[in-house]
Amino acid sequence: MEFTEPGTIDDLVEDATAAGYHATTRLVHDWVSKGLLGKPQRRRTGPNGSEKALQSANQRFLFITLLRERVSTPRLSELASVPLSLWLYGGDEWVSTDQALRAFQTWVGDPRGTKAWARGVAARVMSDVGDPRLGTQSSRRELLDALAEALYTGYFDRDLIVAKARPLFEPADTLPPSANSEDPDQPPRTPEALAFHLEIIVAAGQAIRAGELEPWELEAIRKLENDAEGATPTPEQFASAATNLFRCIGLWVIMRRYKQSPNRPDGP
């Protein structure tokens, strides 16, 4: 479906019906609060009372895209990657920075809610950075426990994580080729590298959940990421946009801890 004009919430619900999906005004409001959709533009009160706020044509398109993705990906945390990708590669005319910040909070979730949730997040992190052939089942479980505790408490003990990671990399001559690769997309090659990777993830999650990132910081990170990417993004880059931005946020936060953070664009 193509949209050229902004629309009210009622229009969005009608768009969904026309596209073969079921949606309600309550769903629209919920998705706005979660950052999946942007906040509608309020209109001045006319002689006949307040007129309903409007969503842009691009947001109408985003709404249909989210409904289509929801068929196979019902979790809000995963759906939140769609507006984040559009914000990174499409710019503010698609998704505002304010919406992106709210979408990131939805994408990250809050591992501090329950220990079971924190452990689930830790397991996903481990699957991203580890090779199941590294270490023993016991050593990987101990590292998983330590990471889950860090996510749950918000306290990252780097020395402890390094100690728990070390058995996964010893003896070095038994590591599979992927663990010794220079490719940055491969699992980290040392306990220290793995610990730093995990520290990036914890730092990014804490900053996003606490609302510590200012809009100008996220926009600066977007510029750095786009400058690094250069050409038109591939489907793979578009799909991994949220993950890449998340890691950039973690690096930004860690750098901010050890040296004076950059000045705002409009002055100190």
| Domains of the chain, residue spans | 1-74, 115-206
Distance CA 89, CA 92 (A): 9
Correct CATH for 1-74 of 1.10.3720.10, 3.30.420.40, 1.10.1790.20, 1.10.1660.10:
1.10.1660.10
Helices assigned H by DSSP within the chain: 9-18, 25-34, 57-70, 76-79, 81-90, 97-108, 115-129, 137-153, 158-165, 191-209, 215-229, 235-239, 241-258
Which pLDDT tens digit goes with each residue over 112-124?
Answer: 678 888 888 888 7
The pLDDT of residue 114: 82
pLDDT-based confidence at 266, cuts 50/70/90? Answer: low
The pLDDT of residue 264: 57
Is the distance from CB of 80 to CB of 104 less than 8 angstroms? yes
Which pLDDT tens digit goes with each residue over 6-40?
Answer: 999 999 999 999 999 999 999 999 999 999 999 99
Q: Is the pLDDT at 50 greater than 80, yes or no?
A: no
Taking the whole predicted model, whether its pTM rises above 0.85 is answered as no
| Buried residues in 234-252 as b, exposed as e (16+ CB within 10 A) | eeebbeebbebbbebbbbb
